[in-house]
Structures are given as structure tokens and as C-alpha cells.
Structure 1
Amino acid sequence: MTVRVSGALSEFVASNVGPDGAFENISEYVRDLIRRDKERAEQVAFERLKAELQMAFSAPESAYKPLTAAEVIARNRG
């Protein structure tokens, strides 16, 4: 995989790599950025699921009705 950066981005990367930076090399820095982005995406998905579950559990009992597995499958297909 090849990534090219120039100008201010290149200078910023250089300031974070090497003896004075937080990372020994650029690859280590990029891997860390990807891991953090993955964690952020997972957190967003978790928060979305959590909000859906909170909404479902806060619904009144009268909002629920029994369904068979076939009815759930049919509803999800449509």
C-alpha cells in the first residue's frame, strides 16, 4: 500500500515520527491512525444500537405484539 502526502500534512507526519515524535516510523503511525478510526466506527455503531435498544425498551407494553419467526422474517424482507 502506498500513500503520498505533501505540504502541511507531510510536515505534520514528520513531526510525529522519529526521535522527537510519538512513533518510530510512518508505518507505525498509520497503523495507529487506522486502529483509532476502526475503534471510532465501532463506537458509533454501538451507540446507534444502544439508542435503538433504549427506544425499544422504553416503549409501552401495549406497543408489543407476539410474532412468529415466519412473521419476523416476512417483515424484515419487505
Structure 2
Amino acid sequence: MSDSVNVRVTGELKNHLQQQVGESGLYENASEYIRSLIRADLMSSKESWQWLKGQLEPSLRLAEEDFVSVSADDVISRNKV
């Protein structure tokens, strides 16, 4: 089983890739650039999850009597601009 993945890019994506690699780019080759993009995507996903977790945790720690029952109509009315 191969540990590599082949990706075909054309047009605007290919042009952008070529600008990022070689003498004029920040990366030595396309593989290095793609690995960097994947790492950035993973980091972004982790940061998004941490943000969401931070938003939800305080509510999850509340006592049940602190929750307020609302209907879907209440939420829709509250969020109308």
C-alpha cells in the first residue's frame, strides 16, 4: 500500500501552486506546500473546536433551574432584525 497521494491541479490552482514553490516561492516543492496547507487546516479545525467548547462550557455548568424554556417561535422572534 502506498503512503502517497497524487493530486491533479489545473488552471488557477496550478498557477497559484507554481507561485508558491521554487525560486520565487516560499516552498521548495509542491509537496511541502500541500503539507503546510493541511497542517494549517488541522490547526484551524482545532482552534474552531476550542472556541466552540469555550462558548458552550459555561452553559453546561449551570444548574438545571437556571435554564429558561423557549419555543422555536421565541427564538425566531428574538433573532429577527
TM-score (norm 2): 0.68
Q: Which runs of 5+ in 2 are unaligned?
A: 67-81
Q: Which runs of 5+ in 1 are unaligned?
A: 64-78
Runs of 4+ in 1 over 2 A off after TM superposition: 54-57, 59-63
Structure 1 residue 62: Cα displacement: 4.8
Equivalent positions of 1:26-65 (< 5 A) are: 26-57=30-61, 59=62, 62-63=65-66
- The aligned amino acid for 2:31 is S
Q: Aligned pair 1:12/2:16, yes or no? A: yes
Identity of aligned residues (%): 31
User: Once the two structures are superposed, what CA deviation does each residue of 1:22-63 show, in whole Å capped at 9, x if it has no partner?
Assistant: 100000000000000000000111111111113335x46854
Aligned length: 62
RMSD of aligned Cα (Å):
1.7
Return the alpha-carbon distance in structure 2 between the equivalents of residues 5 and 28 of structure 1.
15
Structure whose residues are more often helix by fraction: 1
Q: Aligned pair 1:21/2:13, yes or no? A: no
TM-score (norm 1): 0.71
Equivalent positions of 1:60-71 (< 5 A) are: 62-63=65-66
